[in-house]
Amino acid sequence: MRVGLVNDLPMAVELLRRVIASTAEHEVAWIAMNGREAVDACRHDRPDLILMDLNMPEMDGVEATRRIMAETPCPILLVTASVDANVSGVYDAMGYGALDAVDIPSVGLNGHSSEQTAALLVRIATIGRLSRNLPPVSHGQRRPPAPASPSQRLVAIGASAGGPAAVATLLGDLPPEFPAPIILVQHLDEQFVPGFASWLGQHCRLSVRPAREGDRPERGVVLIAASANHLVFEAGGELGYRAEPRDYPYRPSVDVFFESVAERWQGEPIGVLLTGMGRDGARGLKLLRDRQCLTIAQDKATSAVYGMPKAAAAIGAAAEILPLAAIAPRLTEACAPSS
């Protein structure tokens, strides 16, 4: 992969350059000292991936991400001194289409941290696989669906790149008395989920928290997948996490969760697929639609990255394709007691 580096600190740039040079699979495409230089560099030479810092002079990483994704979209990984110290900026940038965030490897007496370097290289490799839009992995024989009770609603949401802002908008437009439980699978490293839940809680009138093993969906509560393993419904109706399929490129996977909803939820689910790179969730949404469930995909005009919703539309998985602003009213209508 050809990688663009965006950081105003020469030491950080040199460290990242060495990390990229440590494997023959990657090379540095160009180096920018701030967001404005990065936007200009992308116009002339769009790389396969950008490693974007957040705090820089002239133009920060949030605004640079917004402009790049609007003008010359390409995968962006946020690499900053401390993700925990920049929670708001991280999710703002993810709302514009950044894929993930990671701390820059620290430098010690023996050079940069091998553990942090390995984590960064894993993120880069994962984004490389997503960018190549890998075909879906087969999960084997599916179990027959459980019988449904129309009185039991559930909203299952999947999102990836651009998802934090889209989810915040959708949840913020729901009334505090929204009658159905909501479960979200957002492509996000598990260490960031608590901060993400707290950030989302500031944008809506519902309770938001990470999903724990053994949880059951609750009215007025948004549960977020919070593990590198896949969130699923177990046979008893509780939520759980499972490692299989281990080789699936998306962890946690929207497809795996949607499939478990179709098979295990004792009621009438609604599937919603929002902005994101790749195709995760499209097949699972199609399974829900084949079960005669309401399925919704975000439209192209309002998607930061029109990958996952596009894949769903291409296979007829979405019964309705709606702009982001119309999804919350549609869910409110669909979950009304008389519906």
Residues known to be catalytic = 160, 187, 280
Distance CA 83, CA 74 (A): 21
Distance CA 183, CA 206 (A): 12
Query: CA 210, 215, 221, 224 torsion: positive or negative?
Result: positive
Give the sheet arrangement for strand 207-210, strand by strand: 207-210, 221-224, 182-186, 153-159, 268-273, 294-298, 320-322
User: Using an 8 Å Cβ cutoff, are 229 and 197 in contact?
Assistant: no
Any idea of the CA torsion for 318, 322, 328, 334, to the nearest 10 degrees? Answer: -50
- Within the chain, how many helices (H) and strands (E) appear? 11, 16
Beta bridge partners of 295: 271
Distance CA 74, CA 92 (A): 17
Distance CA 203, CA 200 (A): 5
Q: What's the alpha-carbon Rg for the chain, to the nearest Å?
A: 20
Q: Is 236 helix (H, G, I), strand (E, B) or coil?
A: coil
Beta bridge partners of 268: 153
Question: What is the DSSP secondary-structure string of 194-224?
Answer: HHHHHHHHTSSSSEEEE--TT----TTEEEE
For 289, the token pair is 């639609």
Question: What is the DSSP secondary-structure string of 18-36?
Answer: HHHHTSTT-EEEEEESSHH
| CA angle (42, 43, 44) in 5-degree steps | 90
